[in-house]
Amino acid sequence: MKTTPLLCMFAAVFLCIAAAGCTDSNAEKNVLVVGNHKMVDARELDQGTGTGTLITEKIIITETLVGTEEDFSLKPILAESWKMINDTTWEFKLREGVKFHNGDEMTAEDVKFSIENINAKQPGRTTLLDYKGSEIVDRYTLRIRSNEKNPLLPAALHSPDTAIISPKSYDAAGNYVGTIGTGPMKLESFNEQTGEVVVVKHTGWWGGTPTLEKIITRGYPNPGTRSMVLENHDVDLTFDPPYSSVDRLDALLGVEVLKFNTPRTYKLDLNMDHAPLDDLNVRKGLAYAIDREGIVDNVLYGVGDAAAGPFLPTMTWANTTLVPYTYDPALAKQYLAEAGWKDTDDDGYIDKDGKKLSLKLLTYTERPGLVPMLEAISANLKDVGVEVTEVAMETGAISPMLNEGDWDLYLIAANLAMVPDPEYVLKTWYTTDGTTNRGHYSNPEVDRLVAEGHNLTLPEERYAYFRDVEGIVYDDVATINIAYYGVAILMWDNVQGFAYDPTAHDYKLSPFMTVS
């Protein structure tokens, strides 16, 4: 058959497309397909039931009153300015002309609704607001009252949980119908069966006209799957493949790998309701048994650093005098022996009163470093005579075990900067009633110091004060901090304009990215 020039052109185009492994995004210009680390649950789209991270950072349909610069200092977003009126009242001046996705203008009434919505439905997420109520001064001015003096309140409003939404995100009966935010993208569809979320650009966004036409977000909980769909060009951008594959992926033609430090710490929570984890000598023994440097080098492949206190050393408020607990199996055994745990029958396991020291170690599978870290930590603990039961499952599967207290150690990659202030972590992780104090660590001195430090207003004074508190929980081994989290962002080179936000959870997309 004779081949025409037109057929030759179509054949060449077809071969070019096949070779490129084109994604859905290539069917339209500036459509970004993202591989997220978990399937989206319908509740995550609702400001009142989700964490705020998805809607504010991953699909950028909502915004907060307050943002942060790269050094974690505060900056205006939906609030133009704020000031303390008295010890318990902050006044916020709102940005005028901000339009919700339905065209309504954002007012003080909408902001009040949003804060009270999350405060009523998830009060644990607004603990640091110490919210008492709000007063509408005028259309663009709102006063927010706390129960007691609260210098932390503007920083607490950086949390994506406090994202501003329209009351019309709910029907007259209060049922969720779809998030209406102010962000650069707006919700178009959500597939409950597949978890796929589609957002399209908000042409009325106050920050300018987005270049992205659409973002399609799909969930891939398995790190290996994320690597595969990126290689197949089923997605344009993803993050955190198996760390062992990062160098190989970076070598692929057309693939770019970016590595950043992100405000997370790999840590072990210890269930202090379970003896002997309530014994400081046992906790110190476990801390000295873990080879942090070996884990960073051989498990995380250099994506991260050994951890001392909970805070990254680059954070302004971090106590940089703290150093990681050294890997010292002999010292670990000494501390365990002081607590009465010795190998009395030469079976390789330490025991006391006829019982082995046996611990149940849990983690979840969505993040690539956790399962291999669990295996390495388990091996370290076995080397000092601790019997370990390893459990690694998706978050939904281990949640009941955590809730029921059926665990001893929980390995987690915990966020440090939901609120850009040291009190956020020290209060929620380490005070007796802390909202994420899973292990029920309790030290009355820490409770007192955190409560008193809350009232300090000058940043440098606060930072110096809370450095001392960080030193106490470090000495108490309130958590065993393993490593500071590094994130690997993978994208094809047809994606341009990605800018890393070091204060975000893993990553935050920019509406001014392009996909050719």
pLDDT tens digits for 143-166? 999 999 999 999 999 999 999 999
Q: Tell me the CATH class for 261-486.
A: alpha beta
Which pLDDT score, from 0 to 100, does residue 27 have?
54
Q: DSSP characters for 451-483? A: HHHTT--SHHHHHHHHHHHHHHHHHTTSEEEEE
DSSP 168: G
Cite the residue boundaries of each domain of the chain with CATH code 3.10.105.10: 261-486
pTM higher than 0.85: no
**Residue 2: C-alpha distances to residues 6, 7, 12, 16 (Å):** 11, 10, 16, 22
Cite the residue boundaries of each domain of the chain with CATH code 3.40.190.10: 24-236+494-516
**Do 288 and 328 meet the contact criterion of CB atoms below 8 Å apart?**
yes
Q: Tell me the CATH class for 24-236+494-516.
A: alpha beta
Counting as low any pLDDT under 70, the low residues of the chain are 1-27
**Do 237 and 58 meet the contact criterion of CB atoms below 8 Å apart?**
no
**Do 490 and 255 meet the contact criterion of CB atoms below 8 Å apart?**
yes
